[in-house]
Amino acid sequence: MCINYICTECGKKYDPKTLVFRCDCGGLFNLEKPDLKFSNEDILNNEWSLFRYIKTLPFNNDFDLWKDITMGEGLTPIVPLEKKNPNLLVKVDYSMPTLSFKDRGAAVLIAKAKELGVNKVIQDSSGNAGTSIAAYASRAGIECDIYVPEGTSSKKIKQISSHGANVHIVKGTREDTASAALNAVENGEGFYASHVYNPFFYEGTKTYAYEIYEQLGGEMPQAVVIPVGNGTLLLGCYYGFKELFNLGLIEKIPKIIAVQAEDCAPIYKAFNEGKQSVNEVTNAGTLAEGIAIAKPMRGKQILEAVRATKGEIITAPENKIIETRKYLAEKGFYVEPTTAATFAGFFNYYNENNHKLTGKILLPLCGAGLKKD
């Protein structure tokens, strides 16, 4: 399969074998892939992980290194949140090897890194993406350096270092952490396994959409609600929907309702001001650390994706996050605050717009409660 990196700014193409992480012009990469051929018969019915959709993933037909790397990630349950509303569905995406949805992206990205012959990866994260990359890198026998901002949950840091990764705690903002990792990459210290820069990560998160399609028997929800910081789940899900639509497997792309934290909402702001790109804001200290991204690098793409689905961007009220976390626990789901924020934002919106939402609505449970005190 001929796959290229293609610059989102100037269109220049690169072979992934070059291991570059962004264009000479500074632009981020998308993937350019051959036209996808896929039907229900191509699902590997005996493979109980997201690699059952291997035909849609960016690997050659004879590629089987993923078999040594998968830990059964994906195929997470879809169930109603509560009996009284059978149309309000949750996808239990913290049922993953490292307890967050980031395993979708990490499994595919690390399999690709292995194929490219990489022996060391570098990554920066507010916690969960770092944990996923550390776990999969270790399983694949790849050395790993993870950069996290100071203030990252000590449990997440322990989880990362338990996989043998070198953890670098960086003073300052999330953006300072990203700069530190970038410096290391530019000094030639390793392959940038970034969930923000590396488009192979999104090939993994797109399986979220394929699973919805398969598990709901092709009857797609009217809307999916997705937390958004850097947009790894949102963009992946959108790419998946678009592929399913282009393949003629679904008739309509579900509306994407994206949720940002009230105290750190740059994409929400740009969306509502009708802008095409996102300006940096200051994180006023949101409890939703997993979506506290003041300067989202793929902001422009996120705006385009949400608008293309006629979706919306809403915010989660900070003062509702803790009580929503309790509410979800009452329903049996113990989640981290960022996940509670997604629901807090949605409930707020739903109560005001009840009449507009009639079909199925699906929300993800992205991160497990044990990750955070």
The residues that touch Zn ion, with contacts defined as CB under 5 A, are 7, 9-10, 12, 23, 25, 27
100 binds ligand PLP (CB under 6 A): yes
Q: Is the dihedral of CA 32, 33, 35, 41 positive or negative?
A: negative
Q: Which of 130, 221, 266, 367 touches ligand PLP by CB under 6 A?
A: 367
Q: Which stretch binds ligand PLP (CB under 6 A): 71-79, 215-223, 335-343, 350-358?
A: 335-343
CB 263 within 8 A of CB 285: yes
Residue 224 Cβ, how far from ligand PLP at the closest point, in Å?
13
Nearest to 225 by CA among 320, 340, 326: 340
Q: Which of 290, 299, 311, 345 binds ligand PLP (CB under 6 A)?
A: 290
Least distance CB 291 / ligand PLP (angstroms): 5
Sequence-ordered list of residues with C-beta below 8 angstroms from that of 226, at least 6 positions apart, any chain: 233, 234, 237, 256, 257, 258, 259, 342, 364
Please give the residues from 10 up to 29 whose contact with ligand PLP meets the rule CB under 6 A.
none
Interacting positions 178-217 with ligand PLP (CB under 6 A): none
**What is the nearest approach in angstroms of Zn ion to the Cβ of residue 141?**
33
Nearer to ligand PLP among residue 54 and residue 344 (C-beta): 344
Minimum CB distance to ligand PLP, residue 258 (Å)? 9
102 binds, among ligand PLP, Zn ion, none (CB under 5 to 8 A by kind): ligand PLP
Strands 13-14 and 312-316: unpaired
Secondary structure (3-state) at 288? coil
DSSP 8-state symbol, 190: S
What burial class does residue 307 get, using C-beta atoms within 10 Å of its C-beta: 0-12 exposed, 13-18 middle, 19+ buried?
A: middle
Query: Using the rule CB under 6 A, which residue among 230, 286, 309, 324 binds ligand PLP?
Result: 230
Q: How far is the CB of 267 from ligand PLP (least distance, A)?
A: 9
Q: Determine the Cα–Cα distance for residues 290 and 268; give it in Å rounded to an integer.
A: 16
Give which of 200, 248, 242 is closest to 4, Cα–Cα.
Answer: 200
How far apart are alpha carbons 357 and 257 in whole angstroms?
Answer: 11
Pick between residue 4 and residue 161 the one whose CB is nearest to ligand PLP: 161
Pairing of strands 223-227, 191-192: unpaired
**Distance of alpha carbon 87 from alpha carbon 223, whole angstroms:** 11
**Residue 7 or residue 244: which is nearer to Zn ion going by CB?**
7
Comparison of 159 and 338: residue with beta carbon closer to ligand PLP = 338
Among 152, 315, 339, 348, binds ligand PLP (CB under 6 A): 339
Residues found near ligand PLP in the complex (CB under 6 A)? 100, 102, 128-129, 227-234, 290-291, 293, 336, 338-339, 366-367
